[in-house]
Amino acid sequence: MGALKYILIVLGIIVIGVLGTAGYFYNSLSKTVDAQLHIESGYVQVNGNSVTGNVKLRQGDVVETSNGLATIILHESVLISLNENTKTTLEDLLLKHPKISQETGKSWNKFTRLSGVEGYSIKDSESVASVRSTAFQFSNGKLIGFEGEVDYNIADTDFVVEERKVVEIVDGIPVKRDITAEELAEVKQSLERQERELKYLRELEVKKYTFIINKFTTEETVMETLEQADSGEKDIEELRKLVPVKIKSTQKVVDLTNKIKETKQQIESL
């Protein structure tokens, strides 16, 4: 009887271990959130209701910043950082090509091309911008290109807006010109904000698999390693050594860290 009890205990431990491991890998699938809003500061509304912190969004939702700042995150791949007094609507959350309508205000758009998104479009009453991998500022009747190329249609005229080029309406006519020093200073501020939001997105990803991390190291150690990787003190590949289990989240964190490093370099170049 004692032997039978021992065998049952051993079998129980094995079953728990198998279920636990399955749980680890279920958590490691790193489910992507279709749309979420990170409220950075001030008064922000979704569909007329005041919101704070982080909230999930759905297709058709309307976001208004009033005196606040907030960033819409689509499929953990597109960052749309809204300035004050900006109103946007989530027109289409299709994974391959989400679409946003911006009724008023100004936004900084960063398309990372992570998580399966292939393209992104944002429009207002006069224009529409479509991209496949880039960063740009979008406001009523004006687009500032900074990274990559943007296909931009304004006043029924098509433009390809390259890096450090601007297209805007002047005396009723759309024109393309070089970026000014004042606009570059504004871009630098947007990039600094972009860096913070990429770090925020990375932190969300790390927290998805804290349970697994704690089996090998600590969340604090991982975050410290990531900060050192951001500054170039350590190779981001060292993260893989901290979490030897092969999981999807690890690669996403590595990719986001590389985007953060790229953003830092862009800031330093201005």
Mean pLDDT of the chain: 86
User: For the whole model, what pTM was predicted?
Assistant: 0.86
Q: Which CATH architecture has domain 35-179?
A: Sandwich (2.60)
Handedness of CA 138, 126, 44, 97 (dihedral sign): negative
Higher pLDDT, 52 or 211: 52
Residue pair 230/239 in contact (Cβ under 8 Å)? The answer is: no
Q: What is the dihedral of CA 221, 225, 226, 230, to 10 degrees?
A: 150
Q: How far is CA 205 from CA 100, 252, 255, 266, in A?
A: 24, 8, 11, 24
Strands 120-123 and 99-104 come out as parallel
- Percent above pLDDT 70 for the chain: 85
Position 15 confidence tier, pLDDT thresholds 50, 70, 90:
very low
pLDDT of residue 246: 60
Residue 237 has pLDDT above 50, yes or no: yes
Region 74-98 average pLDDT: 97
Single-letter amino acid code for the residue at 63: V
Q: Tokens for 86?
A: 């900006």
DSSP assignment of 134-197: -EEEEETTEEEEEES-EEEEETTEEEEE-TTEEEEEETTEEEEEEPPHHHHHHHHHHHHHHHHH
Lowest average pLDDT, out of 46-60, 104-118, 174-188, goes to: 104-118
Position 211 confidence tier, pLDDT thresholds 50, 70, 90:
confident
Region 228-242 average pLDDT: 79
Q: Tokens for 229?
A: 């990787």
Q: How would you class 100 by CB atoms within 10 Å of its CB: exposed for 0-12, middle for 13-18, buried for 19 or more?
A: buried
Region 142-165 average pLDDT: 96
Higher pLDDT, 227 or 35: 35
Q: How far is CA 236 from CA 205, 251, 254, 266, in A?
A: 15, 10, 6, 19
Q: Taking Cα atoms as reference points, which of 256, 148, 150 lies closest to residue 194?
A: 256
Residue 8 has pLDDT above 60, yes or no: no
pLDDT of residue 242: 64
Q: Domain locations in the chain? A: 35-179, 187-269
pLDDT of residue 11: 35
Residue 14 has pLDDT above 50, yes or no: no
